[in-house]
Amino acid sequence: LLLIEQAENPLFEIERELCKKFTAVNIKAVICNITDENRVDKIFKEYNPQVVIHAAAHKHVPLMELNAGEAIKNNILGTQIVAKAAENYGTTNFVMISTDKAVNPTSIMGSSKRIAEMYIQDLSRTSKTHFVTVRFGNVLDSDGSVVPIFKKQIARGGPVTVTHPEMKRYFMTIPEASQLVLQAATMGKGGEIFVLDIGEPVKIIELARELIT
């Protein structure tokens, strides 16, 4: 199991956690920026991965509006580099993690992920690698999701900030998200976009009120 990440502290933490829980699994922590084509190529050449779960992306909507070039570089060009390496080295299954914000995108982040989706779908038409996409809503309590942000704001005594009172989001749990990715890897024949049926969208302001209560 290869854990590939550019941020060393999260990589260090997840490697420790997984090694402790799964002592029989051979786990390697690899530091890599996916926009570094030579580094990505070297990793694929050395390890020849069968299944690639491509989750690397800049996901913060307001930050990406302010740093549009970085969103394009990481989310589009980074995806292109990893996907081409997967094709070149005979990866069997490639799952790209996308976002519900790629549907009729209204932000740089959503637009960059939609372009990455389109690239993956186009590549799947001619490749032996099964390229599929999984679209997520918000994963409850994951890094960068609203729940940890709200919890911190509440712990400080407020205020709890919501971007817009009518803002709605779909939510899923971490286990649901993980299972969706693995199922997509086994079900995908190439070119599909998988979405988990997660019921009705939740108003962010209602979620904030629930947490405060």
As annotated, the active-site residues are 101
Distance between CA 45 and CA 43 in Å, rounded?
Answer: 5
Residue 183 is encoded by which pair of tokens? 């199922």
Give yes or no for a contact between 123 and 80, defined as CB atoms under 8 angstroms apart.
Answer: no
Residue 181 is encoded by which pair of tokens? 């990715």
Phi and psi angles of residue 137, each rounded to the nearest 5 degrees, phi first: -85, -150
Give yes or no for a contact between 5 and 45, defined as CB atoms under 8 angstroms apart.
Answer: no
Cβ burial 152-190 (10 Å sphere, 16+ → b, else e): ebeeeeeebebeeeeeeebbbeeebbeebbeebbeebeb
Q: Could you count the other beta carbons within 10 Å of the beta carbon of residue 68?
A: 14
The residue length of the chain stands at 213
Distance between CA 176 and CA 199 in Å, rounded?
Answer: 13
Distance between CA 52 and CA 121 in Å, rounded?
Answer: 16
